[in-house]
């Protein structure tokens, strides 16, 4: 049975109105994330950080050459050492912090100055309230989830848009120095009782012969050797993923799936951080907190901790962190003897 013509015309008219309403709203709600800072007090449009990096009209500087070298080495290592490529899923993007105001994506790696980078991004995104000095933000405040947005919270099309047009950066560190730093911070500091309970008790139970009842209960005296046994035991990762403090950068930031524009290094933290802030055009607005630690001492420190580790376990541990050594051009530490 056919509907009378007049009714069909009425429906057509309604549909037309609806479509017009959508067009009207779209024209009003046009987001302009590619035009960073354009609307600010009538100044000429500023280039996005990504444009600053790749469309630079000045002659190539030494620092640009260093970063290009790192990108090429990473790409080559990905081609050589990763077997098949897979598709990126939102779950992979939980460590990627978004700054929509400046067009930045930062993948945070614990034990590689991530507290200071989160503080800087809180200042830049306005999440820091009135704080202009990153060090004015308490460290625990910087790690509150919800202060900063991660890329995994966005829709697929928003994710793709940001991956294409934002400057993507991360910071890495010599893998064993990072590991020793994580061990010292989480297992030798008296105040880190949450880690002692959650991981320490388990490590003592599984990897210490004849443990004392007190150690079993508190888990606060795990040795580096026991920590290494825990890491290289295949059962550990079958049970649950590594904690982010000792998870490999390769698994946290997916550098073979996401093409990072800047790979900063802890060893040259200040220079590399300033380079990112300069590309973002915010070097006058925020200062990256100067480090008080010398990287020389962290290298010697790692060597001391490895004295107790047998060549067999050194080799197992190296194999575990091998991708982080290869992708970021870290050579085999000279103190190893396998």
CB of 334 to ligand NAG, least distance (A): 12
Pair 77, 87: CB distance under 8 Å: no
> Nearest distance from residue 302's CB to ligand NAG, in Å?
16
314 contacts 292 by C-beta, under 8 angstroms: no
Backbone angles phi, psi at 98, to 5 degrees: -110, 130
Q: DSSP characters for 276-325?
A: HHHHTT-TTT--PPPP-S-HHHHHHHHHHHHTTS-HHHHHHHHHHHHHHH
Q: Which token pair is 272?
A: 């590399």
Scan residues 72-111 and list those touching ligand NAG (CB under 6 A). Answer: 73
C-alpha 91/C-alpha 150 separation (Å) is: 10
**Taking CB positions, which residue lies at the least distance from ligand NAG?**
69
- Least Å from the CB of residue 82 to ligand NAG: 18
**Are 109 and 171 in contact, with CB atoms under 8 Å apart?**
yes
Q: Minimum distance from CB of 333 to ligand NAG (Å)? A: 12
Q: Are 292 and 299 in contact (CB under 8 A)?
A: no
Instruction: Tell me whether residue 95 is exposed, middle or buried, using C-beta atoms within 10 angstroms of its C-beta: 0 to 12, 13 to 18, 19 or more.
Output: buried
Residue with smaller CB distance to ligand NAG, 70 or 95: 70
- Neighbouring CB atoms inside 10 A of 13's CB total 10
Residues that contact ligand NAG, how many (by CB under 6 A): 4
69 touching ligand NAG, by CB under 6 A: yes
Cβ-based nearer residue to ligand NAG, 174 or 220 = 174
Check binding of 295 to ligand NAG (CB under 6 A). no
Nearer residue to ligand NAG within complex by CB, 66 or 101 = 66
- Centre a 10 Å sphere on the Cβ of residue 245 and count the other Cβ atoms it contains: 17
Query: By CB under 6 A, which span of 68-76, 105-113, 193-201, 281-289 interacts with ligand NAG?
Result: 68-76
Instruction: Determine if 329 is a binding residue for ligand NAG (CB under 6 A).
Output: yes
> Which of 36, 50, 67, 70 contacts ligand NAG by CB under 6 A?
70
Distance CA 320, CA 227 (A): 13
Alpha carbon distance 179, 227 (integer Å): 10
Least Å from the CB of residue 180 to ligand NAG: 20
- Closer CB to ligand NAG, 45 or 69, in the complex: 69
Q: Which span sits near ligand NAG by CB under 6 A: 69-77, 233-241, 268-276, 300-308?
A: 69-77
Alpha carbon of 287 to those of 98, 121, 271, 273, 276: distances in Å?
Answer: 19, 11, 12, 9, 11
- What is the C-alpha to C-alpha distance for residues 72 and 38, in angstroms, rounded to an integer? 32
Here the tokens at position 36 are 């960073």
Q: Considering only 11-19, 67-75, 119-127, 167-175, which stretch makes contact with ligand NAG by CB under 6 A?
A: 67-75
CB of 206 to ligand NAG, least distance (A): 37
Q: Is residue 216 at the binding interface for ligand NAG, with CB under 6 A as the rule?
A: no
- For residue 118, state whether it binds ligand NAG (rule: CB under 6 A): no
Which residue, 73 or 301, is less far from ligand NAG as judged by CB?
73
> CB of 246: closest distance to ligand NAG in angstroms?
24
> Which range of residues in 66-74, 176-184, 251-259, 268-276 is near ligand NAG by CB under 6 A?
66-74
- Residues in contact with ligand NAG by CB under 6 A are 69-70, 73, 329
């Amino acid at each position: 049975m056919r509907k009378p013509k007049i009714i069909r015309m009425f429906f057509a008219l309604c549909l037309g109105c609806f479509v017009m309403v959508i067009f009207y709203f779209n024209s009003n709600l046009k987001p302009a994330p590619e035009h960073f800072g354009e609307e600010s007090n009538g100044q000429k449009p500023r280039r996005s950080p990504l444009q600053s990096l790749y469309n630079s009209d000045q002659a190539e500087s030494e620092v640009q050459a260093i970063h290009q070298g790192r990108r090429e080495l990473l790409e080559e290592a990905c081609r050589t050492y990763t077997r098949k490529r897979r598709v990126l899923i939102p779950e992979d993007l939980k460590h990627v912090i978004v700054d929509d105001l400046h067009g930045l994506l930062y993948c945070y790696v614990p034990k590689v100055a991530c507290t200071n980078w989160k503080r800087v991004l809180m200042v830049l995104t306005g999440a820091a309230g009135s704080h202009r000095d990153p060090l004015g933000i308490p460290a625990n405040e910087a790690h509150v989830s919800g202060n900063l947005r991660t890329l995994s919270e966005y829709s697929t099309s928003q994710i793709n848009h940001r991956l294409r047009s934002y400057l993507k950066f991360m910071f890495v560190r010599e893998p064993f120095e990072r590991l020793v730093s994580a061990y010292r911070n989480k297992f030798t500091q008296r105040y880190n009782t949450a880690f002692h309970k959650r991981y320490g008790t388990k490590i003592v139970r599984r990897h210490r012969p004849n443990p004392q009842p007190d150690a079993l209960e508190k888990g606060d005296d795990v040795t580096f050797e026991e920590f290494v046994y825990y890491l290289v035991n295949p059962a550990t990762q079958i049970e649950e993923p590594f904690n982010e403090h000792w998870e490999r950068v390769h698994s946290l930031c997916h550098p073979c799936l996401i093409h990072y524009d800047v790979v900063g290094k802890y060893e040259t933290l200040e220079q590399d951080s300033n380079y990112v802030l300069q590309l973002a055009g915010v070097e006058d607005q925020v200062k990256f907190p100067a480090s008080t630690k010398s990287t020389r001492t962290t290298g010697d420190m790692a060597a001391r901790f490895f004295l107790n580790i047998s060549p067999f376990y050194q080799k197992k541990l190296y194999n575990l962190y091998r991708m982080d050594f290869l992708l970021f051009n870290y050579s085999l530490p000279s103190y190893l003897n396998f």
